Amino acid sequence: MSKALILLLLLFLAAQAGFLLSEKSPYWDEAVYSSMGKYLFSAGSTGLWEPARPTALPMLLGAMWTAGVPGLWTAAMLAIAIGCLALTYLIAKEYSGSTQALLAASTLVVTPIFFKNSSLLLTDVPGAAAALLSIYLLMRQKYAWSGAAAAIAFQTKYPHILLIPGLCVAMALYRKQGKIPSFLAGFALAILPFLALNTLMSGSPLYPYIQYSAYQQNPAYSVDGLASNLLYYPSFLLQNPILLLSIPGAAIALKRKQAIPVLACLAAYAAYFTIISNKQERLILAFLPLLAILVAVYFSQLSGYISKLKNARAYATIMALAAMAAALTPAIIADYREALAPQPGFQYATNLTGTILTTEPRFSWQSSAKFLTFYENPDVSIMDYKAKVAEADYVIYKPDYYPCERIGEECERKKEELHNLIKKENRLFSQHSEPEYYVYEVT
């Protein structure tokens, strides 16, 4: 590993120091994954369980919680982010030189969405890291291990199942069809423990995947119009304009046989995320490192034209890095401040014991209670509430738990119907300032 890359990783860690040293409130999904880990390693006595979620990250967080080191959760996420950066560098180096590979890793570091998500307890960066590991192992002709890494990527973030068609197409184009069974065998062996866990927790090895399929078309996160769908993720390239160079980089890569795995996987991801109606900014992290790698491919071609100039390559790289840093520093600082800003408090449930039925998972963050959830769309929430309330000692209702803006007045009416059902219980506490929520004791 080059000294320049090590320096880049150290600078990245230094910039992330605030996340390591601060005690911040969690985002919604962070609370879910950490509480799933607690639920898994406490045999269901603490935390909560969402059967549609992938289980690799909860297993890691739960193991650390059991070991008594949940304070190192953020450090673990940053270690995975460093692995993602290192793999981006190593793959890019296969297609270009070390200078261009450093530029690929640097492009990823200074892209605000990557910087912000690197320390969060979310599946996006770990899933991308596992996917890159699968691609890199395939390039090193470690086919079974590549399949195993693809399984880990899939169980970290479900869309990474696209590694299977992407890398199988790459092997076929490499004329390595005979290695596909080895790749699939590695995938199958690595996925078996997760299928067993699915069966234990949900009664069926495939139940989580069936449940997840409904989330792909979540209307609460849809965008209107064909053009908006097609341009949703390409528009995020403007977060870091140098990523636009991945477009000519892809054209150059088409002429290079060794770039087939990256291009095949990128095509699969781009098609999938464009087709589904569920659009969220952080989903681009599944393939953002691949775009950074294609930026390196572009610069490898460009450097060929200027390589005859003395020190031109070094100067060009320094200028590119300086331009990225200058352009993106304000956006990174804004994300940094947002992530470190105190989030609304959810402390009331910390002292509650027993079983809590909740529309807000963040109450489980520092609680030792068991939580049941009812925060799907309001129609499903009403059914879940009626089915689960008999098991609960308390109910926590947060009116804005589900975004109705894109669905209409019927959604708001159903939420009011749900709250009226809950009001039949004994109200213990209410908070009308942000965040607004109500706590009821089940009688």
**pLDDT, tens digit, 9 for 90 and up, residues 165-207:** 999 999 999 889 999 999 999 999 999 999 999 999 999 999 9
| Residue 158: predicted pLDDT | 97
122 and 192 belong to one structural domain:
yes
pLDDT in tens, 284-294: 999 999 999 99
305 and 369 belong to one structural domain:
no
361 and 399 belong to one structural domain:
yes
Mean per-residue pLDDT, 207-211: 93
Mean per-residue pLDDT, 271-289: 91
208: tokens are 């989580």
Which helix (H) or strand (E) segment is 302 a member of?
helix 288-306
State the helix-helix crossing angle for 73-95 and 3-15, rounded to 10 degrees. 150
Whole-number average pLDDT of the chain: 88
200 and 234 belong to one structural domain:
yes
Q: Which of 16-20, 116-120, 144-148, 337-341 has the lowest mean pLDDT?
A: 337-341
295 and 414 belong to one structural domain:
no
pLDDT band at 315 (very low <50, low <70, confident <90, very high): low
Which of 32, 95, 87 is closest to 300 using CA atoms? Answer: 95
Question: E strands of 134-293, at which residues?
Answer: none
Which one of 293, 321, 340 terminates a domain? 340
Which one of 294, 312, 340 terminates a domain? 340
282: tokens are 């952080």
Mean per-residue pLDDT, 395-424: 91
pLDDT in tens, 339-366: 555 555 676 777 899 999 999 999 998 8
Phi, psi torsion values for 16, nearest 5 degrees: -90, 5
pLDDT above 80: residue 13: yes
165 and 309 belong to one structural domain:
yes
| Residue 214: predicted pLDDT | 80
Between these two residues, 401 and 405, which has the higher pLDDT value?
401
46 and 85 belong to one structural domain:
yes
Which one of 284, 306, 340 terminates a domain? 340
Model confidence, pTM = 0.92
296 and 408 belong to one structural domain:
no
Give percent of the chain above pLDDT 70.
89
Give the span between the Cα atoms of 218 and 353, in whole angstroms.
33
Which helix (H) or strand (E) segment is 153 a member of?
helix 143-156
pLDDT band at 220 (very low <50, low <70, confident <90, very high): confident
pLDDT in tens, 46-103: 999 999 999 999 999 999 999 999 989 999 999 999 999 999 999 999 888 888 899 8
| Residue 304: predicted pLDDT | 60
- In the block, residue with structure tokens 């929430």: 381
Which of 295, 301, 348, 345 is closest to 323 using CA atoms? Answer: 295
pLDDT band at 322 (very low <50, low <70, confident <90, very high): low
272 and 145 belong to one structural domain:
yes
Mean per-residue pLDDT, 6-29: 85
Phi, psi torsion values for 343, nearest 5 degrees: -85, 160
383 and 269 belong to one structural domain:
no
pLDDT band at 317 (very low <50, low <70, confident <90, very high): low
Give the span between the Cα atoms of 393 and 303, in whole angstroms.
66
317 and 354 belong to one structural domain:
no
Q: Does the CA dihedral 48-51-52-54 come out positive or negative?
A: positive
pLDDT above 70: residue 3: yes
Mean per-residue pLDDT, 295-310: 70
Instruction: Give residue 354's Cα distance to chain centre.
Output: 31
SS3 percent helix, strand, coil of the chain, rounded to 5, is 70, 5, 25
Which of 34, 18, 16 is closest to 26 using CA atoms? Answer: 34
Which of 220, 12, 56 is closest to 153 using CA atoms? Answer: 56
Domain count within the chain: 2
Mean per-residue pLDDT, 119-147: 97
Structural domain of 359: 348-441
343: tokens are 């989030």
pLDDT above 80: residue 318: no
174 and 137 belong to one structural domain:
yes
